[in-house]
Structure 1
Amino acid sequence: MNKFTKTIMAASVLSATCLMANAGPGGPKKPQKKTTAPAKKTALDLSFIDKSVVPGDNFFRYANGKWLDTATIPSTETGIGSFYDLAKSVRENLKLILQEASKNPGAKGSVNQLVGDFYASGMDSATIEKLGYSPIEPILKNIDKISSISELLQFVAAREHENGSSFLSWGIGPDDKNSSQNIVQFSQGGTGLPDRDYYFSTDPNKVKIVDAYKKYLTTAFTLVGIDAATAAKNTEIVFNIEKELASAHRTRVELRNPQLNYNKFSVADLDKKEPNIGWSKLLTELGAPTQTILIGQPAYYAKLDSLLTTVSISDWKVYYKAKTILGAASLLSSPFVNAQFAYSQVISGQKVQKPRWERIYGMTDGNLGEPLGQLYVKKYFTQTAKERMDQLVTNLEKSFAARIQKLDWMSDSTKKISLDKLSAFIRKIGYPDKWRDYSKVDINRNTFFENVESAAKNNYDYQLSQLNKPVDKTLWGMTPPTINAYYNPTINEIVFPAGILQPPFFNPEADDAVNYGGIGMVIGHEMTHGFDDQGSQYDKNGNLENWWGASDKSKFEEKVKQVVKLYDSFTVLDSLHVNGSLTTGENMADIGGIAIAYDAFKLTKQGHSTEKIDGFTPDQRFFLSFAQIWRIKLKDETVRRLIDLDPHSPAKWRVIGPLMNFTPFYQAFDVKPGQTMYRPESERIKIW
């Protein structure tokens, strides 16, 4: 989890690495009249269709083939497609908001002032260039003064309050087995590469990334005045410490097991077990004194406790200097920013760095998300869209309930509990009902680095204020302009930010087939997460607790195995396959989502019709809309990284996997034996 953000084990509709335009959670308490939004684009583009492809051979290609043949990935991006197009539109809207706010910031402490002056400070490249690395120079000098592990831990804890980066990874959120109460939670961290496996792999693509990371570390050290030979030596020190920490990390597949990663400890017991960390003192210095904590991956902190004595204090100081420099690189002068981008290029394949305004917009979003989100929903999200979306969610819930009632593999008693959980879903649409307090954030348009530190401290203090308090179920884990959606099992909530409620996902002017195939599938996807291999382990109140009958659970687990086996068989690049075990939950949500959305579509007037539009039946338009929302082309480097890290399957298989198991698709496009996507009906995976 990100350091000191709201702890959420949230299953989202797409990868956070893809693109999302994010801003802070929030929204007006009552929907207000909005200014006119930009003209809507059609959510179904027939010019994309490649009619030379048989739909039953490759429906992703059939729906998007002509676009795939002509689309070119911009030099500043890692991909192109529906999400990227929408993200660009949202960014441009936010750019206008930011520029206006920076020109007319208004009264000190106002939303406009916070957002406008922060953005202006980040865009003041002349001042930032003059400062070089001086904003972090005092921190580096204070690290030099550290003479013991005790002092190191004390310094690390102090820096955590102000945007520090270290070997700690923690936050405050709902206790999975007592979901009404917040608790301190720690998880594994301390590394710099994308995943633990990169430290041990001999795969040439991963080795290339490791080499680039080491080069970045060396460059970073030289940029703060360290000679080249010492910088190279320091790089090896940092890398070796990180490798030791990585050896105690769980794999991404293991991290998907909520029972395995639920470990509650008495702080008093931890003090005895891991005296070098000194948990009581550490928690007090972090500002979070408590008697009980959760540690997701205990082996990591056991390893850290050991390394605190086996690694010299001088080496730990080198390590923490590296974390400080790399953590602040994007806030410093261009040599630091360019070194950071050179490393990221190797990971992503992106050719050209994004323009400064895009980078500063992202930082404004990350540090002042709520004020920026407030301005966004005021201007670009309508009450009509919120009401239409609410009705869609209601219809999807009805269709899901009907599917549960008709299941032939589940007992009546487990069906009843399933229906209770479904009816208990908390739905959040567009924006939250209340704003967080940002009155303690001090933003000055001439001090970019200090602005980030002030915003980080405010966020830190806010998170601390939630400790030992009942869980606030009104909080959001995504911000209004975010182009994404999520299900959170500890709250039992489904959340749809304003950003995704636009074409091609949602278009109030489009026919029902298009909307149910687009945003309807997204809604069904998030609902299904409540009942996937992870979400199904949480009850209607968000507690990690078994509510299944033994026979039902056994049948369900067999279906999970079928999903894993099928997706393991999909080839992505060369000999690179989808990781069925890593992507299980998302694949189940895709399979369930399309089925639930289709049933809800059949409840509409168009769903009962056979009238063609542009030569396609309502059912065909539904499936084309579904395939086109996943229209995307990515750099090979990005694809390889996502296969390693992302719990979602690549877009092509998010279309083909669900449809090859869904009989109404066969009927809509006359899929026959011998066609690539055809599976005998007895082999089609049917879960919900």
Structure 2
Amino acid sequence: MKIINKTLLFAAGASILASCGTSKKDTKEINPKSPYTINVDYLDKSTAPSEDFFQYANGTWIKNNPVPASESRWGSFNELDQRNKEKLTVILEEACSVESAIGSDLQIIGDYYEAMKDMDLRNELSPKKIFLIKEELKQIKDHSSLPDAVMKMKKKGISAFSSLYVGQDLKSVDKNTLYLSQGGLGLPNRDYYFDDSKAEIRDQYLDYMALAFELFRFENPSEVAQRVIKFEMKMAESMMKPAELRIPENTYNPMVIDDADEIVKFLNIKETAAKYAKDKKIENIIVGQPKHIISLGEVIASENFETVKEYLAWKYINHYAPYMDEKLVRLNFDFYGTALSGIKEMKPMNERAIEEMTNKAVSTALAKEFVARHFSEQAKNKVNTMVDNLLAVYETRINNLEWMTDETKTEALKKLHAIGRKLGYPDTWKNIKGLKINAQDYIGNVDACHSFSFEENMSKLGKAVDKDEWGMPAHLVNAYYHPLLNEIAFPAGIMQAPFFDVNAEDAVNYGGIGMVIGHEFTHGFDDMGSKFAADGSFTNWWSEEDRTNFEERTNRLGKTFSGFCPIDGHCVNPDLTMGENIADLGGITMAYYAYTMTDEFKKGDKRSGFTPAQRFFLAYAQLWKINYTDAELKKRLATDPHSPGKYRVNGPLMNSPEFFEAFGVEEGDAMRKSEEKISKIW
């Protein structure tokens, strides 16, 4: 799940265990088919649940479901996403086949799709776009040209040198402010430029760059590529590592705009930002990484200006390559798809279109059509009830925490009860009437979407935060917690099987979306979310003693995950994944105790040979079933704040007394940490 902070971006008391615990009772077998339950065909019965629960719950599925050639991973999220894409494809094909009013949702998505899939026209127009890009580059004559050039690129969706955007102020959460953060690299993060384990990727990136420069008719393309990657390495050297970027103390650095102007000379930040913010008065800016920004300015000033221009040319080329002719599209895919993620073949055009449109301004039109045709209000109402049940469990558990003082508990409960919820879709859809989409101009449509989003973002400067705005489109299979709004959100796209189904038994629903609800709640109380108060502000509400107790427990959990190395030399980074690991442990714990309050659990009937508690944990494990390509797994270990699926199951359960009891896991078994190493947090 995603924690939004721009973003996707998360010890129990004795009395609650006593009141909600799983006492052993006589059980009887009932019809396993209605309502549906866990899938016993996924099980690997040759593996004991006490040795590797992920393998036990999913082993047969893992064996029989290799990653498809057009994917980098395959699991529950992908299965549901695929079903959603089938529904969305019907919508797109219909939109292409009917005449719709200009500016209507069907016109916008239909014409975007029509233009994207017309590869003959794209091949024909690509040389013209190459010419226009090179003409734009000619306008960049010296360092004084950079501010305007960079902002023009930003308007096209290209982040050169750094990232400039308007966002919610971490401490004054009711207002929007200007942010400047590190960015502008072609590889996933700074570590890719320096780690020995990424040397092959660097070589492949260099080859891709040289071939792309050749297709754009640059002289001596290999030499140009060498200069650009060396320039990117100089940029990357002073950047923060991914785990460091998670820490708000590191990245919240408010500055008076005049002071920022002194360290961001390459961007002339005060004048440039004011120009693109329609001359609004800008007094302050938040600089994410001041030391890096200063170093970046020095790198730009000391570099041969022709190399700086070549870097900007590369930013143009790399940005537009996926939208151009077949050669450039394939070249871009060969690196970002195959080399970085292990994908063997490109997805069909309809799936590529849906993924692309989901990440652009047209996503609103696509989401509206999806919700109108495929979303169940019954599902929304039942999920809302589950949220209430999880909230009640969280309140009880906070009240019974043995390691937290009453004063801090009061603040924790205040925050818990202030958490807002967004379910299904927005009450008011974003207005995209001004977005102009043309069935004969694909790249023009891409530019229009980026320009629309840029203008929309910059228009927020100086305005109050719109707390009704959603952080992701409604058809997406995902969920998030937003620390600055102190809210959880569950789009319509995820309120379907296997995460949730109105016809599923409670064990499946609580082990599925119930765990996700608990996960998102817990993001408000993970190692970073816990630094934000009930009103969403970056404000400390902990006593020093309680914070120390909390960190002792989170460090213990980190040690669990630091031992997971799915590929030699490539291990889970406990600092990068800490928030998600805490959220997974909290999520499964809260969902379990919410499930124990249901009639289904209290009856204790067996289904498919399993008790209610066992089915709950199996449903949880089967939710995270997944296979990865080796390349994708390596990339995710280096970049993703989530642990791989196997460890999202085994890691939390190794710290779960409720799981130990359900499956008779004893001390000394692989799936059980010794008592002094178990992390009991929320």
TM-score normalised to the size of structure 1? 0.92
Which residue type is aligned with residue 155 of structure 1?
A
- Kept in 2, the 8 Å contact 1:188–1:296? The answer is yes
* CA distance, structure 2, for counterparts of residue 140 and residue 170 of structure 1: 24
* CA distance, structure 1, for counterparts of residue 575 and residue 503 of structure 2: 39
> Which residue number in structure 1 is paired with residue 18 of structure 2?
none
Deviations 1:511-537 (A, max 9, x none): 111100110000000000000000000
* Displacement of 1:74: 1.0
> Which residue number in structure 1 is paired with residue 176 of structure 2?
182
- 1:649 match: secondary structure: coil
- Kept in 2, the 8 Å contact 1:82–1:631? The answer is yes
Q: Indicate which of 423, 431, 450 corresponds to 1:456.
A: 450
* Displacement of 1:43: 6.2
> Which residue number in structure 1 is paired with residue 626 of structure 2?
632
> Which residue number in structure 2 is paired with residue 494 of structure 1?
488
* Displacement of 1:9: 5.0
* CA distance, structure 2, for counterparts of residue 9 and residue 196 of structure 1: 19
Q: Indicate which of 630, 651, 655 corresponds to 2:645.
A: 651
Which residue type is aligned with residue 321 of structure 1?
A
> Which residue number in structure 1 is paired with residue 6 of structure 2?
8
* CA distance, structure 2, for counterparts of residue 571 and residue 311 of structure 1: 40
- Kept in 2, the 8 Å contact 1:7–1:172? The answer is no
Does 1:357 find its partner at 2:350?
yes
* Displacement of 1:164: 3.3
- Could you say if the C-alpha distance between residues 438 and 324 of structure 1 is closer, same or farther in structure 2, counting changes exceeding 3 Å? same
Deviations 1:325-355 (A, max 9, x none): 1101111001110110111211111111112
Q: Indicate which of 258, 268, 274 corresponds to 1:284.
A: 274
Identity score, percent: 37
> Which residue number in structure 2 is paired with residue 30 of structure 1?
none
Deviations 1:391-421 (A, max 9, x none): 0101000001111011001111111110110
Does 1:479 find its partner at 2:473?
yes
- Could you say if the C-alpha distance between residues 43 and 438 of structure 1 is closer, same or farther in structure 2, counting changes exceeding 3 Å? farther
Q: Indicate which of 495, 498, 507 corresponds to 1:504.
A: 498
Q: Indicate which of 537, 544, 548 corresponds to 2:542.
A: 548
* CA distance, structure 2, for counterparts of residue 365 and residue 71 of structure 1: 26
* CA distance, structure 2, for counterparts of residue 274 and residue 591 of structure 1: 42
- Kept in 2, the 8 Å contact 1:631–1:651? The answer is yes
- Could you say if the C-alpha distance between residues 245 and 575 of structure 1 is closer, same or farther in structure 2, counting changes exceeding 3 Å? closer
Deviations 1:143-181 (A, max 9, x none): 123221111321221232233342231221110011111
Q: Indicate which of 251, 276, 280 corresponds to 2:241.
A: 251
Does 1:342 find its partner at 2:340?
no
- Kept in 1, the 8 Å contact 2:72–2:342? The answer is yes
Aligned length: 652
> Which residue number in structure 1 is paired with residue 15 of structure 2?
none
Does 1:71 find its partner at 2:61?
no
* CA distance, structure 2, for counterparts of residue 683 and residue 224 of structure 1: 57
Deviations 1:642-667 (A, max 9, x none): 11001111111111111111111111
RMSD (CA atoms): 1.6
Does 1:215 find its partner at 2:178?
no
* Displacement of 1:79: 1.7
Counting only pairs closer than 5 Å after superposition, residues 57-96 of structure 1 correspond to structure 2 as 57-96=51-90
Does 1:607 find its partner at 2:605?
no
Deviations 1:258-295 (A, max 9, x none): 11110011111122344343221221343365110111
Deviations 1:219-239 (A, max 9, x none): 111111224xx1111101211
> Which residue number in structure 1 is paired with residue 325 of structure 2?
333
Counting only pairs closer than 5 Å after superposition, residues 23-102 of structure 1 correspond to structure 2 as 44-102=38-96
- Could you say if the C-alpha distance between residues 10 and 414 of structure 1 is closer, same or farther in structure 2, counting changes exceeding 3 Å? farther
> Which residue number in structure 1 is paired with residue 359 of structure 2?
366
Structure 1 window deviating more from structure 2 (268-277 vs 356-365): it is 268-277
Does 1:393 find its partner at 2:391?
no
Does 1:310 find its partner at 2:307?
no
* CA distance, structure 2, for counterparts of residue 505 and residue 421 of structure 1: 27
What stretches of structure 1 of length at least 5 have no aligned partner? 1-5, 13-39
Which residue type is aligned with residue 320 of structure 1?
L
* CA distance, structure 2, for counterparts of residue 304 and residue 685 of structure 1: 41
* CA distance, structure 2, for counterparts of residue 225 and residue 276 of structure 1: 28
Which residue type is aligned with residue 413 of structure 1?
E
> Which residue number in structure 1 is paired with residue 29 of structure 2?
none
- 1:577 match: secondary structure: coil
> Which residue number in structure 1 is paired with residue 30 of structure 2?
none
Which residue type is aligned with residue 8 of structure 1?
K
* CA distance, structure 2, for counterparts of residue 316 and residue 134 of structure 1: 24
Q: Indicate which of 609, 614, 617 corresponds to 2:611.
A: 617
Deviations 1:297-318 (A, max 9, x none): 1122212221232112221111
Q: Indicate which of 223, 228, 252 corresponds to 1:233.
A: 223
* CA distance, structure 2, for counterparts of residue 43 and residue 147 of structure 1: 66
- 1:571 match: secondary structure: coil
Q: Indicate which of 225, 232, 253 corresponds to 1:242.
A: 232
- Kept in 1, the 8 Å contact 2:605–2:611? The answer is yes
- Kept in 2, the 8 Å contact 1:428–1:493? The answer is yes
- Kept in 2, the 8 Å contact 1:373–1:481? The answer is yes
* Displacement of 1:577: 2.1
Q: Indicate which of 90, 107, 120 corresponds to 2:101.
A: 107
Deviations 1:65-114 (A, max 9, x none): 11112222111111222111111111111111111011114111111101
- Could you say if the C-alpha distance between residues 151 and 649 of structure 1 is closer, same or farther in structure 2, counting changes exceeding 3 Å? same
* CA distance, structure 2, for counterparts of residue 263 and residue 169 of structure 1: 15
> Which residue number in structure 2 is paired with residue 27 of structure 1?
none
- Could you say if the C-alpha distance between residues 274 and 52 of structure 1 is closer, same or farther in structure 2, counting changes exceeding 3 Å? closer
Which residue type is aligned with residue 577 of structure 2?
T
- Could you say if the C-alpha distance between residues 136 and 391 of structure 1 is closer, same or farther in structure 2, counting changes exceeding 3 Å? farther
Deviations 1:128-150 (A, max 9, x none): 11112322421321212322111
Does 1:597 find its partner at 2:591?
yes
- Kept in 2, the 8 Å contact 1:276–1:306? The answer is no
* Displacement of 1:10: 5.8
- Could you say if the C-alpha distance between residues 563 and 674 of structure 1 is closer, same or farther in structure 2, counting changes exceeding 3 Å? closer
* Displacement of 1:361: 2.1
What stretches of structure 2 of length at least 5 have no aligned partner? 11-33
- Could you say if the C-alpha distance between residues 311 and 41 of structure 1 is closer, same or farther in structure 2, counting changes exceeding 3 Å? farther
* Displacement of 1:464: 1.6
> Which residue number in structure 2 is paired with residue 324 of structure 1?
316
* CA distance, structure 2, for counterparts of residue 599 and residue 57 of structure 1: 24
Which residue type is aligned with residue 291 of structure 1?
E
* Displacement of 1:7: 6.1
> Which residue number in structure 2 is paired with residue 271 of structure 1?
261
- 2:574 match: secondary structure: coil
Counting only pairs closer than 5 Å after superposition, residues 169-208 of structure 1 correspond to structure 2 as 169-203=163-197, 206-208=198-200
Which residue type is aligned with residue 574 of structure 1?
D
* CA distance, structure 2, for counterparts of residue 542 and residue 105 of structure 1: 45
Which residue type is aligned with residue 250 of structure 1?
M
Deviations 1:405-462 (A, max 9, x none): 1100111111111011000001011111111221211111111111111122111111
TM-score normalised to the size of structure 2? 0.93
- 2:537 match: secondary structure: coil
- Could you say if the C-alpha distance between residues 302 and 108 of structure 1 is closer, same or farther in structure 2, counting changes exceeding 3 Å? same
- Could you say if the C-alpha distance between residues 387 and 10 of structure 1 is closer, same or farther in structure 2, counting changes exceeding 3 Å? same
